[in-house]
Each structure stands twice: as C-alpha cells, then as structure tokens.
Amino acid sequence: MDILENTIRVLPEYLANQIAAGEVVQRPESIVKELVENSLDAGADSIAVIVRGSGKSLIHIVDNGKGMSKSDLAIAPLRHSTSKIQSQKDLERIISYGFRGEALASITAVASIEIRSKRAIDEHGWSLKSEPLREFEIAPANCDNGTQVFVRNLFYNVPARKKFLKSDLTEFRYISDTMIRFAISHFDKRFTFYDNDTMIFDVHPSAQDIRIKNVLGKSLEGGLIPINFIDEKVEITGFIGLPHLAKPASSNQYLFVNKRAVQSKNLNYAIFSAFEHLLEKNYKPLYVLNLAVDPERVDVNIHPQKNEVKFEDDRVIYNAIHFAVSECLKQHNLTASHNLTSDAGKPFSSGNFAVGAADSPMLVNKLTGEIIEPRFQYSPKPSGQYSSSSLSERQQKGERSIFDDIFSNAKPDLSPILLANKNIVVPDDAQFLQIHNKYILTQSDVGILIIDQHNAHERILYESAIKMMNKELSKSQQLLFPVASSISPSRLIIAKEIEHELKDIGYNFTVDAMGNIEIASVPIDISEGEALQSFIEILDEYAELSKIKHSDKRDNLAASYSCKSAIKTGKKLTHGEMKSLANSLLRCSMPYVCPHGRPVILEISLLDLDKSFKRT
C-alpha cells in the first residue's frame, strides 16, 4: 500500500447525522423534548403530543405556531440548518430553545419522519416525508396553520440503540416527566398529552400554582409557598413545597433557567441546604423554580441535549437561590428555631412554627426537625365560653382547643397532636382498647395515645418493605402449594419492571412472556389464601401510584404494598394484636405519618388533661 495515500475522509452526511443523533436522540423522550421545543420556539401557544408504544411506534406533535414556508421546510431537516441564530453574537445570547440546527437532522437519521406545516399567509401547507438514506419527498398538503410532526419506526436502522431502550413503562415515564416539565414552566400555554388513546392531561392556560397542582397532583393543595426574588443578576420565581411534601426521591424537583429545564447538582444543593433542618433524613424538598438571567451571562451550549447550563458567576446564582429559599421559609416561619429546648417543658412545640395565621401553628418533631401538619393552637378556655359561640365562630377566632379537634365530630380532618420533644414510650403494662374497630387507645408514659390502626400498619409495612429491598431484613413464607394463574399484559409489564423488588419483599414468582405466573412464596404479612390477589392488587396500585407519584420504584412499591396489605379500618383486633402493632409502630423510624402523609398517632399529655380539668 502506498504510504502516502490519503486515509482521512469527510464523513458522508447521513453518517455524520447518525453520529450526532447518538447524542441528541437517546430515547423517544429526546424526540418529544426537541419537537416540543421547536413548537415553543415557533411561538405556539397550544401544543398536543400523542405517543404510541411509549414513542417507539409513533410520536405525533401538533402545534399552532408560525409554520414554515415550502423552502424552509425543504431544508429544515438538514444538519446545521436553523432559523434561530446567524452569528457568533447570537450564539452568545441564546433566547430560543434550539440553536444547534441538529434535532430534525438527527431524528431523520434514525426514524421515518413526516412534517406538515403551513404559515397563516399561505393558502395551503406542505408536507415533507423522509426515510433514512432517501431523498425527501415534498408535496402540497392540506393542513391547519402551524406544524405537525410524525415520527415513526424509531431506531429501526440502529438496532443497537433500539435494544438499549428500557421497558415501555420506563420510556413512557421519561416522556411524561418531560411533558410535566414543559407544562409547569409554560403555564400560559395549552398542552394536551395522550398515551395511546388515554389522555394523560389537557391543561389550559392558568396561574403557575394551579398548573402545578393540575399536573403534579391535588395533594399539593395548600402546600406550595410562592417565591419572588429579584436582584440585578437574577430573578427567581416559582414555588417551594412545605416540608411535609418532601419525598425520599428527588423526583419533585424542577429547576428552570430562562424556561429551560436544567439539571444542576450545585443549585439543587443550594435549595436543599436552605431546607435542611426542616426535613427528615434523606428527604428532598419539592420545588418548581424559574431563574431568569441575562442570556449573555449564561452558556447553554454545554451539552448536545442542552439541559446543562453554565453561569458567568456560579457563586452569585448559588447564593441568590439559597438566600431566596431561606428567606421564603423564614417569612413563613418555617425555619427551625435555634432554641428548641426553651419550650422543652411544654407538651406541644408550636410557638416558633406558625404558618400563615398565628392561630394555626405547625407541629414539629423535635428529633427529626420534621414538620408534621398545621393545627390549631391549644388554648384552654372556661367551658362556658365555648358554648356561647358556634364552632365556626370559634374557629374564626382561633379559639379551637385540642379537645374540639379530637373529640368533636364537626371537623373530620383532624390534625395530629404529638409530643414532639421526645420519643413516645408505651409502658410494658399498658392496656389497649379498640374503639369503633378503627382506633387503638392506649397510654404513653406521659399521656394518652390514639393510634389509627390502618395508618399505623401501613407505616410499619412500608418501612419493613424498604428494609427488605435494602436487604436489611428478609421475611418470606413458602406457600404449601404454589399458586399458578395468568396475568394481563399490562400487569405483566409492571411485574417485569419491578420483578427484583417484588422478590426482595418476599414474592418469589416466575412469569413467562404469556403472563403465566407461579407464586411460590409471599411476604410474611400476607396470608396464604391471599397470595395471588395481593400480588395483583400491588401491581395495580403500583401502576396507579407511579402515574401520579414520580418517586422512585422502590418507594412506590413499598407504598403500594403497605397500602394493599395493611389491616383495614373496621377489622377487630385482639389485645395481643394491638400491643404488637403499637410496639412495631414505635420501632419505626418515622411513626407519626403514614406513607401517604396521613397522621398515625395522636398524643394528649397528662399535663394538658390536668390543665383542662383545672388541676393545675
């Protein structure tokens, strides 16, 4: 061979595109993200996203943006073709999502794509069809103003990438997370999102907090505090969640820089550290924060996926966000007091934890610093005074006493009362009384305890499931006769997704591709006769939970397991059962709230009883 022969070649366009696609299009979600960004850049205020087969068989985006001319459409899918920047100066000042001109090129390199587009001034639109390695086909098309993109057969020419994709459920979750991010940051726009034929959400323009609740769940009601902070470098707006909305996973953390969803460990930490003393160990606060910074002072061209940014001055932004969150918590009197011991003698720690009105103080667990729930302040009054005014009048005046809360049936949403400054201890010789087959009444070393039997059992099972998944505990019982049955395809997907975790908590099973299942053992807390039913209920609950709660697999499974397996309200318990329930509960690391955030124990101290009976 001639040693002088040239060996370096410029890659053909299609190969270059495929290489770029490797970075830009990692999974169906990447396509959804790029296409919705294009729609937003095109000024659309209504965007519909329809996916089939978790985006593997179809991704269809419809927008009402400005559309493209025939000649623009013809070059839009070429590499480095963009209408968004023209000069170096523009690159230093990115105000659009796109600027690299490679999304459409990358998608056309790995899938079949059709774009239909029409500008308002044109009489009809145009369609462009593209298949990898083929010439584009352009033809007149009947379509509305705006742009529609269809992406089919994703990765059919890149089998390695296709193999790399996760289960449908996982890929779908990536897409829905992305859609949630768009929906909560562009709350002034309409988003419609379909998975196969199921509508996931259809949200109309609204205020941001309403949008957040609409997509993240009604459970956030009353739990979001607004943030508004401005200095010359950055403007921070959005919401942080009250500490009780914190989760062991970071799934409820949304950070946007100039409306771009970004990932930043550094800034996450700035926020987390402002919350620090208010959260249970390993819990992550909920937040949706938008940072507006001068586009010249932030570089978004760090990564092909454009979800990392670099600030001109990291430190300034870090400090601003930490300060903004701390101040916000402080203004809502949520910061932990520095002299927690000063009211150690009092049964209820409340003084420093008022949220909103002064008559609804927070309860805080002094051991963990965790805030439990707002409640009405205990303020004993002569009984005559109570009877002179109606309940609602008293509530308005903030005169409700603990006993109203506990013993009146006028208000069903009782808030928990607990001794926050110590561990609850049940004496060995304590008696247990079941009330209405629902609550367990017993005594602690300093007062009365009322335990919700279902919530308590849920907490116990939740913690033991987490321990089993962490391999700190193993409790499983072999069935005398393995149970054989078959499960539906949708349940099969879930069973496969959480197979390891299910096995960890004690379900030993085998399942084939047809859904034929055989269960050989079950968790110790499940009775033999319920092997199959409990298994199926857990799969269903998990599917439900994972739609609404974007926390991690294990947390969702533990919550599903505990919810489905816990003893029900209405079940009669023996003295021994009540005792062991109370003991197991008090051994939990967080006995006061169930995995869904409901209170588990109320404690009324003798001191308070004495005060109320005028003994002190």
Instruction: Closer to Mg ion by CB, 38 or 368: give it.
Output: 38
Instruction: Closer to Mg ion by CB, 103 or 227: give it.
Output: 103
Least Å from the CB of residue 138 to ligand ADP? 14
Q: How far is CA 195 from the centre of its chain?
A: 19
Instruction: Closer to ligand ADP by CB, 147 or 208: give it.
Output: 147
Instruction: Closer to Mg ion by CB, 38 or 290: give it.
Output: 38
Integer angstrom CA distances of residue 139 from 35, 65, 108, 276, 519: 21, 20, 18, 59, 57
Helix (H, G, I), strand (E, B) or coil at 552: coil
Least Å from the CB of residue 367 to ligand ADP? 52
What is the DSSP annotation of 432-477? -EEETTTEEEEEETTEEEEEEHHHHHHHHHHHHHHHHHTTS---EE
Instruction: Closer to Mg ion by CB, 38 or 264: give it.
Output: 38
Instruction: Closer to Mg ion by CB, 24 or 450: give it.
Output: 24
> Counting contacts by CB under 6 A, is residue 42 touching ligand ADP?
yes
Least Å from the CB of residue 150 to Mg ion? 16
State both tokens at 332.
């809502």
Q: Which of residues 488-547 bind ligand ADP (CB under 6 A)?
A: none
Instruction: Closer to ligand ADP by CB, 37 or 131: give it.
Output: 37
Report the distance separating Cα 374 and Cα 32, nearest Å: 41
546 binds, among Mg ion, ligand ADP, none (CB under 5 to 8 A by kind): none
Binding range to ligand ADP, per CB under 6 A, among 65-73, 219-227, 396-404, 459-467: 65-73
Among 160, 290, 321, CA closest to 212: 290
Least Å from the CB of residue 100 to Mg ion? 7
Least Å from the CB of residue 104 to Mg ion? 7
Report the distance separating Cα 313 and Cα 123, nearest Å: 49
Integer angstrom CA distances of residue 9 from 2, 20, 102, 243, 259: 16, 17, 21, 58, 40
Helices (H) and strands (E) in the chain, counts: 20, 24
The closest residue (CB) to ligand ADP is: 98
Spatial neighbors of 497 by CB under 8 A, at least 6 apart, are 167, 169, 170, 553
Among 76, 227, 279, 420, which residue interacts with ligand ADP (rule: CB under 6 A)?
76
Give the residues across from 253 on adjacent strands.
287
> Counting contacts by CB under 6 A, is residue 18 touching ligand ADP?
no
Instruction: Closer to Mg ion by CB, 25 or 236: give it.
Output: 25
Alpha helices in 115-241 (DSSP H): 159-164, 168-185, 208-216
Least Å from the CB of residue 559 to ligand ADP? 39
State both tokens at 260.
């771009």
Q: Which of residues 87-106 bind ligand ADP (CB under 6 A)?
A: 98-105
Least Å from the CB of residue 171 to ligand ADP? 21
Report the distance separating Cα 42 and Cα 72, nearest Å: 13
Least Å from the CB of residue 17 to ligand ADP? 11
Among 541, 572, 573, 534, CA closest to 557: 541
65 binds, among Mg ion, ligand ADP, none (CB under 5 to 8 A by kind): ligand ADP
Instruction: Please check whether residue 224 is in contact with residue 212, taking contact to mean a CB–CB distance below 8 angstroms.
Output: yes
> Counting contacts by CB under 6 A, is residue 132 touching ligand ADP?
no
Residues in the site for ligand ADP, rule: CB under 6 A? 34, 38-39, 41-42, 63, 65-68, 76, 81-84, 98-105, 147
